[in-house]
Amino acid sequence: MEGGGRPSAVQAALLAASSAITALLYSVYRQKSRVARGLEGARKVRLDGDLQALLLEAPGRCVPYAVIEGVVRSVKETLSSQFVENCKGVVQRLTLQEHKMVWNRTTHLWNDYEKIIHQRTNTTPFDLVPAEDSASVTVRVMKPLDAAELSLETVYEKFHPSVQSFTDVIGHYISGERPKGIQETEQMLKVGTALTGVGELVLDNATIKLQPPKQGMPYYLSTLDFESLLQKQESSVRFWKILTIVFGFATCAVLFFLLRKQYRHHRERQHLRQMQEEFRQAQERLMNTEGGETLKNACVVCLSSTKSCVFLECGHVCSCHECYQALPEPKKCPICRQGITRVVPLYNS
């Protein structure tokens, strides 16, 4: 603590940083909790002949947040894999990712660094149909790339290591960057994949559509079943809750420490003022009874013996030797509360 009981700059910065981190974690926890509650309250509908009648009865022919499970089927032509034969899908993502080592001047270590240098995503319209052969009822999936979780299967992956000459190696060490190579990846949402869709279900003329919800809830197109998807979100909520509690306790501990220090400093100042007032009153009484000359040489602690000690480094002459010996450790000057490093005897002639 600094003078006046105020916290130091480091202590104030620690309290501010801890409070900010706690507030940030709590905000993330609230958002994750809201998502989990919304997912738990989503309406489960079956992909069967009753689905259209259910939407006709719903307000606005719409279920704001619904869960539906089905199998992916292409509406038009399917997308073919560029690397795997007879691999058909409705969403295709091609990625080129650069891998290299970068020298960290702070830790003096080489760290892995990855960067996407090119990515292209192709889509084609697709429906969700019942797992059975009958496809009398279909749900058109809208804007699949807007989904918070879009499950794509990696169908091809190859790493192309970089070829380097001796001159290149020397140049890379000087520049602090060592290329490792390029990773080529192809991901697809294949035809026939079982998919769980969570979003807004709406009847548009004769077409049933699954689209991103309007009330800010996340849009899911996941290969997980609904129970697994819900458990995944609840697990994320627990993780952020534990982090929030840990940092909340740390913030409370820092705040308690600072308040305790400030309280003790206040008590010490109050006690010092009380002692000074008692000394002043005792001196006034002595002045009235024994005269000023006796008071000038009287010990300020016992007010009976003669002053016989010089306290260093403050220089106060205020105590007899017996009262100095009785001072508690660490010994401090009764007048200014400064630590006593050395005592010099005082001889009156």
Q: pLDDT digit string (tens) for 99-152?
A: 998 888 888 888 998 999 999 999 999 999 988 766 678 899 999 999 988 889
Please give the C-alpha separations between residue 166 and each of 162, 171, 173, 216, in angstroms, as whole numbers: 13, 9, 11, 55
Residue 54's contacts (CB-CB under 8 Å, 6 or more residues apart) are 45, 63
Reported as half-sphere exposure (CB side, CA atoms, 13 A), residue 296 has a value of 4
What does the block give as tokens for 187?
A: 């991901």
What does the block give as tokens for 255?
A: 């705040």
- 134 vs 7: CA distance, rounded Å: 73
- Which H or E run includes 236? helix 226-289
Please give the residue that has the higher pLDDT: either 185 or 9: 185
Please give the C-alpha separations between residue 246 and each of 27, 239, 293, 305, in angstroms, as whole numbers: 15, 11, 65, 58
Q: Which range has the worst mean pLDDT, 153-157, 266-270, 331-335? A: 331-335
Q: Which range has the worst mean pLDDT, 42-51, 88-97, 130-139? A: 130-139
What does the block give as tokens for 333?
A: 């000057």
Residues in the chain: 349
The DSSP call for residue 60 is: G
Domain 300-345 has CATH 3.30.70.270: no
What does the block give as tokens for 164?
A: 């380097």
For residue 293, the model assigns a pLDDT of 54
For residue 189, the model assigns a pLDDT of 93
3-class SS letters over 9-35:
HHHHHHHHHHHHHHHHHHHHHHHHHHH
- Which H or E run includes 156? strand 153-161
Share of the chain above pLDDT 90, in %: 42
Rounded to an integer, the average pLDDT of 296-300 is: 76
Give 183-201 pLDDT, tens digit per residue.
999 999 999 999 999 999 9
Q: Sketch the domain layout of the chain as residue ranges.
A: 8-41+225-288, 45-224, 300-345
Q: Return phi, psi of residue 198, to 5°.
A: -130, 115
